[in-house]
Structure 1
Amino acid sequence: MAGVLRRALGTVPFFAYVAIFLVTPTLVVVIGAFAGDRGGVTLANVRALGESYVLDAFGRSILLSASTALIGAVLGALLAYALVTARPNGLLRRAVTAASGVLAQFGGVTLAFAFIATIGLSGFATVFLREQVGVDIYAGGVWLFELPGLILVYTYFQIPLMVIVFLPALDGIRPQWREAAESLGGSTWVYWTKVAGPLLAPSFLGSALLLFANAFSAYATAAALVSQGNPIIPLQIRGALTSEVVLGQANLGKAMALGMIVVVAVVMALYALLQRRTAKWLG
C-alpha cells in the first residue's frame, strides 16, 4: 500500500498542473458562457454565437487554420522526407531538426515584427523591390495586415512544426518494405501508393489536424499584426473582453471561447484516433 501511495505521489505535480492551467480556466469559461451580466443563468451568450459577425470570425479562423495546416503539412512533409534520406546522425539532419524545434515556437510579437520589418510597408525587402526592381508587392492592397498576411505568417511556424511531428512516422518506414516491393516487381509509384502511402496517411492527417489546432488557437501573432478589426475569433474575443465602446460583453467573450474549445476538442479527438492507428505499426 505504501508503495502505491509513493508512486501516486509522483503524479501530484502533473495533476496539479492540469487542474490549475487546464481544468480551472475551462470551468471559468464554461460557467461564464452561461452566466448573465447581472447574475443568474442565461443562454443569451450562447445564442449570440449565431450572430453574423461571430460566425464570420469563426469562418475566417477555420479558413486560416485549414489553409496554413494544408500548406504546412505538405511542405513540412517534403522537408521531413528530405531529412530522412540524409544520414541519421549527420550534421544536416541535426541542424534542421534543431532549427525546426526553435522556429516552431517562434511566434507572437517577435514574429510579427520580423515580417513587418522585412515585407511591411516600409520593410527593407519591400523598399528594395520597389526602388531597385520596380515591383510593388502592395500594388493590390495592404494584404500583410489582413487574412492573406496571417496565412503567410502562420505558415512560417507551421512548416517546422510539421517536420517535428511527422519525422518519427517517416523514420518508422523500414527500408525492407521498399526492398520487398521492388523484389516483387513494384515500381516507386506502386510502393508509395500501395505500401508507404497508406501507412503514412493516418500520421499525415493527424499531423495536419495538430497544425489546424495550433493555428486555430494562436493569438499573439495575429494580435500584434492586426491593429484594426477582429478578423479571427481570438481577436473577436479580445474585443469582447477589452472593448471600451460596448461594455458588458465579457461573458459573450467566454461563450466564443467555449466555441473554440469545442472545435479544438473535436479536432484533437480525431488526432488521437489517428495517432492510435499509427502507433500500431510504429511500435
Structure 2
Amino acid sequence: MPTVALLANAFVDRQGRITLANFADLATSEIANAFLTSIEISAATAVLGALLGLGLALIVGRGIGNRKARTIIMTFCGVASNFSGVPLAFAFIATFGRLGLVTVVLRHVFGINLYASGFDLASFSGLVLTYLFFQVPIALTIMMPAVDKLPRECREAAEMLGATAWQYWRHIGLPVLWPTLLGTLALLFANAFGAIATAYALTGYAVNIVPILLYAQIRGDVLHNEQLGAALALCMVLVVALAITAYLVLRARAERWMR
C-alpha cells in the first residue's frame, strides 16, 4: 500500500490532476546536486567500506588463529553494523566535534587542529567518516564467509609452483572474491544512499543529500510539496532497488563456488 500511494502521489499535482511535472522538477539544480552528493557519499563509503572490510576479513580470517578473539570481533561487528541514527551522530559529535575528545586531545597534546586544517564533522568528509563506522562492519560480516571458503590448498600449490603473493591474489584470490566484493559494494551503496537519521542529526541541512531533501519536502515547512516528495522517494526507491538487485545477483553467483 505505501508503494501504491507513492506512485499515485508522484504522478499528480496538488489539485489531483495527472502530470509529469513532478519528475521534471527533479532536474532543478538543488535536487540534481542532492542526487550527485548522495551518489558521491554512497560511492565513497561503499568503496572505502568494502576495501577496509576485505582487509579486515583477511586479517581476521587468515591472521587471527584465536577463535575467541575472532568471536569478539564478529560480535562487535554485529553490534556496530546496527548502531546508527541519532546515537551514532551524538557519539561522533562527542568524539570528533569541535569540543570532542579526539579533537581536544589532538589539539592540546599533539598540536593538531582538525578544524583549522579544513575538517568539519558536518560536511561531506564528516559524513563519510561517520558512515564508515557501520559500513565497515557490514562489509566485514559479508566478506568473512567468502574469505573462509578460500581453499588454503590453492595458496600452498601456488607457492610450490613459485608464485608470489601478488600473483596468487591477482590470478586466484581476487577473482574468487570478486563477486562477493562487488555484491558488498552494491549493498553498502544502497545502505548509505537511503540513510537519513545519522546525516540529519549530524549535519541538519548543511549537506544537501536526497534523504534530507525528501524530509524537507514532506515535513510541512516552506519547502513542503508532497507530490514532489513522492517523486523524489520513487527515484530513491528505484536507485536502492537497482543496488539491492545487483547485490542479490552477485551473491547468488558467489554462493555457487562456496557450496
In the superposition, the TM-score normalised over structure 2's length comes to: 0.94
2:54 equivalent to 1:77 = yes
Provide the aligned length of Structure 1 versus Structure 2.
259
Question: What residue in structure 1 maps to residue 186 of structure 2?
Answer: 209
In the alignment, the residues of structure 1 paired with residue 243 and residue 205 of structure 2 have an alpha-carbon distance, to the nearest angstrom, of 29
Deviation at 1:182, TM superposition (A): 2.8
Identity %, equivalent residues: 41
Query: What secondary structure sits across from 1:98 in the alignment?
Result: helix
Question: What residue in structure 2 maps to residue 274 of structure 1?
Answer: 250
Partner letter of residue 195 of structure 1?
I
> Which of 176, 189, 211 is the equivalent residue of 2:166?
189
Q: What does the per-residue CA deviation read over 1:34-74, in whole Å, with 9 as the maximum and x for residues that have no partner? A: 12211132111111111111010000000000001111111
Question: What residue in structure 1 maps to residue 73 of structure 2?
Answer: 96
Show the 5 A alignment for 1:1-283: 24-86=1-63, 90-141=67-118, 143-229=120-206, 231-247=208-224, 249-283=225-259
Please identify the structure whose Cα radius of gyration is greater. 1
Runs of 4+ that moved beyond 3 A = 86-89
In the alignment, the residues of structure 2 paired with residue 185 and residue 229 of structure 1 have an alpha-carbon distance, to the nearest angstrom, of 55
In the alignment, the residues of structure 2 paired with residue 89 and residue 260 of structure 1 have an alpha-carbon distance, to the nearest angstrom, of 43
In the alignment, the residues of structure 1 paired with residue 191 and residue 118 of structure 2 have an alpha-carbon distance, to the nearest angstrom, of 28
Question: What residue in structure 2 maps to residue 16 of structure 1?
Answer: none
In the superposition, the TM-score normalised over structure 1's length comes to: 0.86
In the alignment, the residues of structure 1 paired with residue 128 and residue 2 of structure 2 have an alpha-carbon distance, to the nearest angstrom, of 28
Moved more, 257-266 or 183-192: 183-192
Instruction: Evaluate the alpha carbon distance shift between residue 221 and residue 66 of structure 1 in structure 2; reply closer, same or farther with a 3 A threshold.
Output: same
In the alignment, the residues of structure 2 paired with residue 134 and residue 82 of structure 1 have an alpha-carbon distance, to the nearest angstrom, of 33
Instruction: Evaluate the alpha carbon distance shift between residue 170 and residue 142 of structure 1 in structure 2; reply closer, same or farther with a 3 A threshold.
Output: closer
Contact 2:180–2:254 at 8 Å: present in 1 too?
Answer: yes
In the alignment, the residues of structure 1 paired with residue 108 and residue 171 of structure 2 have an alpha-carbon distance, to the nearest angstrom, of 52
Contact 2:205–2:212 at 8 Å: present in 1 too?
Answer: no
Provide the aligned C-alpha RMSD in A.
1.7
In the alignment, the residues of structure 1 paired with residue 106 and residue 157 of structure 2 have an alpha-carbon distance, to the nearest angstrom, of 52
In the alignment, the residues of structure 2 paired with residue 189 and residue 121 of structure 1 have an alpha-carbon distance, to the nearest angstrom, of 43
Partner letter of residue 208 of structure 1?
L
Deviation at 1:177, TM superposition (A): 1.7
Question: What residue in structure 2 maps to residue 11 of structure 1?
Answer: none
Contact 1:35–1:41 at 8 Å: present in 2 too?
Answer: yes
